[in-house]
Amino acid sequence: MITEVKEILYSAEQISARVKDLGQAITEAYQGKAPVLVGILKGAVPFLNDMMRAIELPLSYDLMAVSSYGAATTSSGTVRIRKDLDLAIEGRDILVIEDLIDTGLTIQYVLERLHSRKPRSLKVCTLLDKPARRRVAITPDYNGFTIPDVFVVGYGLDYAEEYRNLPYIGVLHEAIYKNGGERG
Residues marked active site are found at 102
Q: Which of 155, 145, 146, 154 is nearest to 172 (CA)?
A: 154
Rg for the chain, CA atoms, rounded: 16
Sorted by sequence, the CB contacts under 8 Å of residue 52 that are 6+ apart come out as: 37, 59, 61
| Cα–Cα distance, 36 to 95 (Å, whole number) | 6
| Cα–Cα distance, 127 to 107 (Å, whole number) | 13
The identity of residue 36, as a single letter, is: V
